[in-house]
Amino acid sequence: MTDVSTQLTRLHNDIQAAATACGRDPGGIRLIAVSKTQPLDKLRDAVAAGQTDFGENYLQEALEKITALQNDALVWHFIGPIQSNKTRDIAAHFDWVHSVDRLKIARRLSEQRPDDRPPLNICLQVNISGEDSKSGVAPAEVADLAAQINALPRLHLRGLMAVPAPADTRAAQRQPFARLRELKDELNNHGCALDSLSMGMTGDLEAAIAEGATLVRVGTAIFGKRTR
C-alpha cells in the first residue's frame, strides 16, 4: 500500500469512530481530500485508493490537476479565496464552491456556470470566530446573503462552511462548529433547505463531526505536511 492509501484507510476509521461515538451514521460524512500544493502522483494514489472528492485552493494549480487526471468520476471542490476574475474557470470546472462570501462572486458564478452542467453547489463561508483577518461573511449577514443566492438560477445553495480559529481543547473546538450548525438550522427554519455543513480539518475533525459536519476537508492527515 502507498502512504496515501494507508492514511486514507486510517482516516476512514477515524471518521467512522467519531461518527459512532456521537450516534451518527458515518455514511452522512463525505471526505474531501485537500490536495493543494500536493504533487499529481499523490492525487493519483488517492484516486487508486477510491477517493473521489478533492479540494483545491489555488485555481491555476487546480486546473492543471483537473486536466491531467481527466476523470469524470472525480468531484472537485473549490475551497480557497475567490477573486472575481477567477469565477469563469471556477464555474466551468468545479462541482462545489465552499468559499462564497459575497453576492458579487455568487452572481458571476451563476451567470458563468455552463448550461450543460447542473447548478453549481455552493456553501457560504462564515467568519464564525469573528477574526478581523479571516474571509467569510459575518454571522449576522448570512441570512440576507443566503436569500439573495437562493434566487440565482445556476447555483444550488447547499450549506455553510467555516475555518474557525485554532483552539486547544475539544470543547473549545466544538463551540464555533456548534454555532455554525445553529446558524444552518435557523436558516432552514426561515425557508432555506440546506443539507451541508463543511467543517473539520486534520486538527479538529472529531469536534466537527460531533457538531454535525457533513463535508470534512482534510489535507495533512492524508498527504502529509505541505511543503509550501
Ligand X SMILES: *Cc1c(COP(=O)(O)O)cnc(C)c1O
Return residues touching ligand X (CB under 6 A): 34, 36, 57, 79, 163, 201-203, 217-221
Query: Sign of dihedral through CA atoms 38, 156, 175, 205?
Result: negative
- C-alpha cell belonging to residue 159: 450549506
Q: Which of residues 122 and 154 has its CB atom nearest to ligand X in the complex?
A: 122
Contact 55, 35 (CB under 8 A): yes
At closest approach, how far in Å is the CB of 50 from ligand X? 19
CA atoms of 80 and 62, how far apart (whole Å): 11
**Nearest one of 108, 102, 90, 170 to 138, comparing CA atoms:** 102
Q: Which of residues 80 and 154 has its CB atom nearest to ligand X in the complex?
A: 80
Which residue is at the shortest CB distance from ligand X? Answer: 219
Q: Which of residues 114 and 203 has its CB atom nearest to ligand X in the complex?
A: 203
Q: DSSP strand E in the chain: where?
A: 30-34, 53-56, 75-78, 96-100, 120-125, 155-161, 196-198, 215-218
Q: Which of residues 163 and 187 has its CB atom nearest to ligand X in the complex?
A: 163
CA atoms of 228 and 223, how far apart (whole Å): 13
Cα R_g (the chain), whole angstroms: 17
CA atoms of 208 and 18, how far apart (whole Å): 9
CA atoms of 92 and 115, how far apart (whole Å): 10
Q: How many residues does the chain have?
A: 228
At closest approach, how far in Å is the CB of 163 from ligand X? 5
Q: Which of residues 111 and 134 has its CB atom nearest to ligand X in the complex?
A: 134
At closest approach, how far in Å is the CB of 179 from ligand X? 18
At closest approach, how far in Å is the CB of 226 from ligand X? 7
Q: Which of residues 113 and 217 has its CB atom nearest to ligand X in the complex?
A: 217
At closest approach, how far in Å is the CB of 155 from ligand X? 19
At closest approach, how far in Å is the CB of 64 from ligand X? 18
